Amino acid sequence: MNYKKTTLKNGLRIITVPMKETQTATVVVMAGVGSRYETDKEAGLSHFIEHMFFKGTEKRPTTLDISAELDAIGGEYNAFTSKDNTGYFAKVDSKHIGTALDVVTDMYLNSKLEEKEIEKEKGTILQELNMYEDMPMRNIGDVFESMLYAGTELGREIIGTKKTIKSFKRKDFIEYMRRFYMANDTVVCVAGKFDEKKIIREIGKIFGKMAPGKKAKIFKVKEKQEKPELKIKFKKTDQTHFVLGARAYHWNHKDRYALALLSVILGGNMSSRLFIEVREKRGLAYYVRSAVESFEDVGYIATQAGVEHKNLELAVKTILAEYKKVSKEKVNEKELQKAKDFVKGKTVMGMEASDEVAMFFIDQETAKKKILTVAEKFALIDKITPNDIMKVAKDVFQNSKLNLAVIGPHKNTKELKKLLNL
């Protein structure tokens, strides 16, 4: 799949990915700023801005004006805030690409940020925060990262705190956007069926006057963990949720593909080692999965599951045994090939959808040193050997790098501490 990168005079980057076989088109506009760029007083501001962009522009004064225009053409649209960036997107029937581009870019460049709307939206976001508190299956990831990156911007929740959410005024939004929403840190990606020359020309007109600037640097995390760590969030729940993992690699690390395959082998699908051991053989969990998370400077590999309260120790023991096993015994070629084919299959299926394609390219442009095509990524995956998997497993699954976060009605931590050698 071919793509084209165009850089405007003000530094704004445009990625275009034509797809002849689809009838859809997706527009994504992404700012290279997320929650880890905020000060403590600004915690949650990146996410709040994302909400406010849907509250009206001069051209489309209300939320209804924005949503009705995209709903009228059957569009799918939304936005997201991560710790590293904030994105806005719309996916439409390709004949409506002009509307999608106009609406998304209008929101990005011309939002009114009215004080009365800010005050109203505080209630919405506070309810969003409360909702996450009532979803331990989702909240456990935040608890895990707050332990891993305690005392740093990366350890804070993206949504912020009740105190910071209530404190924001219009001037805070204006000042934050002045610092971070700049042309040379904005990427626009269009994927699907469209006229490439025309789209590049249109984006150039829309963003040509956007001002560039100097982006503030993140405070990089300095990892100094010397022994396993345990964090329990006491909550009366019907099920205990936990994340057990280890510190691993940043997003440009040379071993990132081996780490990704290791994650698949452990808990990436329904025939993975942990799914079979934890769910099928022992009946300990309904869901159990492993995944890799990476940032510019740090990263981790972790397994998450939900279990009956009394089975927490056994589930943790079972996962630790698999971590140890994969560190000491080479995976066979067949199992490794299965993991490679799984990743490739999922990628290829995703590449049939214009929104997945747009995110594949824009994520790399905002985060990585260079964009790799699907074929180039597959070539790197194919090079991974059983020795590479074992080397990475030995490196990351060290006792001193282990971390366990738990949400549930647990106070006695004696057995867990013993399992972690604390």
Contact 298, 250 (CB under 8 A): yes
Quick one: pLDDT band at residue 215, thresholds 50, 70, 90?
A: confident
Give dist(CA 405, CA 141) in Å, integer. 8
Give dist(CA 122, CA 92) in Å, integer. 30
Q: What is the DSSP letter of 281?
A: I
What is the predicted pLDDT for the residue at 106? 98
Residue 322 reports pLDDT greater than 90: yes
Tell me the C-alpha to C-alpha distance, in Å, between residue 64 and each of 61, 72, 147: 8, 11, 40
Phi-psi region of 342 (alpha: psi -120 to 50; beta: other; left: phi over 0): alpha
Give the helix, strand, coil percentages of the chain, each rounded to 5: 50, 20, 30
What is the predicted pLDDT for the residue at 216? 84
Residue 171 reports pLDDT greater than 80: yes
Q: Catalytic: which of 21, 38, 42, 50? A: 50
Fold of 4-207: Cytochrome Bc1 Complex; Chain A, domain 1 (3.30.830)
Q: What is the DSSP letter of 405?
A: E
What is the predicted pLDDT for the residue at 367? 84
Residue 243 reports pLDDT greater than 80: yes
Contact 398, 227 (CB under 8 A): no
What is the predicted pLDDT for the residue at 132? 97
Residue 220 reports pLDDT greater than 80: yes
| Encoded amino acid at 231, one letter | K
Each residue of 331-355: pLDDT tens digit? 999 999 999 999 999 999 999 999 9
Residue 368 reports pLDDT greater than 80: no
Contact 118, 170 (CB under 8 A): yes
Q: What is the DSSP letter of 10?
A: T
Quick one: pLDDT band at residue 14, thresholds 50, 70, 90?
A: very high
The architecture that CATH gives domain 229-419 is: 2-Layer Sandwich (3.30)
- Known catalytic residue at 50: yes
Mean pLDDT, the chain, as a whole number?
A: 97
The mean per-residue pLDDT over the stretch 270-292 comes to 98
- Neighbouring C-alpha atoms within 13 Å toward the C-beta of 368: 17
The mean per-residue pLDDT over the stretch 414-419 comes to 94
What is the predicted pLDDT for the residue at 266? 98
Instruction: Quote the percentage of the chain above a pLDDT of 70.
Output: 100
At residue 100, φ and ψ (nearest 5 deg) are: -60, -45
Contact 31, 90 (CB under 8 A): no
Each domain of the chain, given as residue ranges in start order, spans 4-207, 229-419
Quick one: pLDDT band at residue 64, thresholds 50, 70, 90?
A: very high
